[in-house]
Amino acid sequence: MNVLHVASECSPFFKTGGLADVLGSLPKALIKQGINVSVILPKYGHLSDEWQNQLTLKKSFTVSVTWRNQYCGLEQFVDQGVTYYFIDNEYYFKRERLYGYLDEAERFTFFNHAVLSSLPFLDESPDLIHCHDWQSGLIPAYMKTGSVENPVPTVFTIHNLRYQGAFPLDVFRELLHFAPEHFAGLEMDGAINFLKGALVHSDRVTTVSPTYAQEIQTPAFGEGLHGLLHQERGKTRGILNGIDLEDFDPKTDPHVTYPYKHNQMEKRKNKQVIQRLFELPERKDIPLIAMVNRLVEEKGVPLLTQIAGELVTTENVQLAILGTGDPSLEDQLHHLASLHPHQISFKCVFAEPLARKLYAGADLFIMPSRFEPCGLSQMISLRYETVPIVRETGGLYDTIQSYNEEIGKGNGFSFTHYNAHDFLYTIKRALRFYRTEKEWENLLLNIYNSEVGWDVSAKQYTALYEEILGKRKVEA
């Protein structure tokens, strides 16, 4: 089976969030299932020389975006069994950032057209195309509307429904290669919506957790598309993301100062490293709570700013916070750190090496998201044997089971309602167990046995692909 993944970012080449991590690890897991996997993505201008020097030009050709004819170079290289293809066009992709430009509709329309134009030149013709997020959302629509000579089935994965690729109606006429009768399949609330086009036309839709698949069918989480998603629920599956267990391993991670596995003595040495880096008192006995996140409302940061002062004045605890985002939230965290310099430290940066050190050095990890399609941070936390505290939503609900001392089950702590009182209560509950050695050891044993890799989910994707291709053969 040949499967082509289409996405706008992929680790280690380009990354703004969890999408890149998924594209960096899922293909490798699928290869273990016997699938021949390739990935195609834009070649942004800041591709490092390390990767640039390994690329070879496969083919160059012209891509049409309505009346515009643009150069396209198809470049490739193979790494760990995965064939990576890059769409080269400096006009669209040699820019400072990956996203956020006024011509976003044209940039990613070109990308979709370029991917389709590249299909005859790939080493292996795909039996199925797996598209990710709105930036590849036109491909399922082109496949189903007779625009492609030899159409193949498509799977479309929603990584975050909030980002839909909605543009003015003129985009349909000026950029897209669709007959007028297909307008309704892309129009939503007076805009052309790339993500809607994918939902309507793909053979299957997946979300990055089972709970999120249910949540987005409701007005609270559906971002205006809940009606359509409910209508398409028969072809929608929730398949949980995983993490790369080789990449995220505290025993081999080069960023972890004192490598460890199931060894709290060595882990505590990493706590002292964090206390030094974050300029907190170096004390092994004080529980260290970490947050590594984008500082935005949806990640629950306002809950933290509401309770942080009370937490550190009523509990002997340290808070180490890493991330950037909303300037007002950054200011609030700076202010809290200035008021409580011996207990709260905030670094307004995002640096992967420092994040890895923080996962390794913390005792507890907080993730009070208002909504979370899947979340990878709680899985990384489990992998680094750091106890997560999360709100019960999306993938957080699917991966973290709140500790129950009566039966000794659970791999973290969670709260249901999005409010500061419940969040504070849950942190204090976790701290009580931290100070009860026997219960804490039992909780850590549960964490050691938590499954956070791709094995189960890769099998689910493989079964989904086989189901689609089997159904296609029957229909043929």
Question: For residue 453, is pLDDT > 60?
Answer: yes
The two tokens of residue 308 are 């942080």
Distance, CA of 6 to chain centre = 15
Q: What is the pLDDT of residue 237?
A: 96
Would you tell me how many other CB atoms lie within 10 Å of the CB of residue 209?
25
- Kindly report, residue by residue over 2-30, the tens digit of the pLDDT: 999 999 999 999 998 889 999 999 999 99
Q: Which fold has domain 264-448?
A: Rossmann fold (3.40.50)
Edge-to-edge strands of the sheet including 344-347? Answer: 344-347, 318-322, 288-292, 364-367, 387-391, 413-415
Chain mean pLDDT for the chain? 95
What's the whole-model pTM score?
0.94
Contact between 76 and 87 under an 8 Å Cβ cutoff? The reply is: no
Q: For the chain, give the number of residues.
A: 476
What's the rounded Cα separation, in Å, for the pair 312 and 333?
Answer: 13
Residue 476 has pLDDT above 70, yes or no: no
Residue 475 has pLDDT above 80, yes or no: no
The pLDDT confidence band at residue 350, using thresholds 50, 70 and 90, is confident
- Helix, coil or strand: residue 409: strand
Residues of the chain with CATH 3.40.50.2000: 2-242+455-475, 264-448
CATH architecture of the domain 2-242+455-475 equals 3-Layer(aba) Sandwich (3.40)
Mean pLDDT of 32-42: 97
pLDDT digits (tens, 9 = 90+) for 233-252: 999 999 999 999 999 999 99
The answer to whether residues 146 and 24 touch, using CB atoms and an 8 Å cutoff, is no
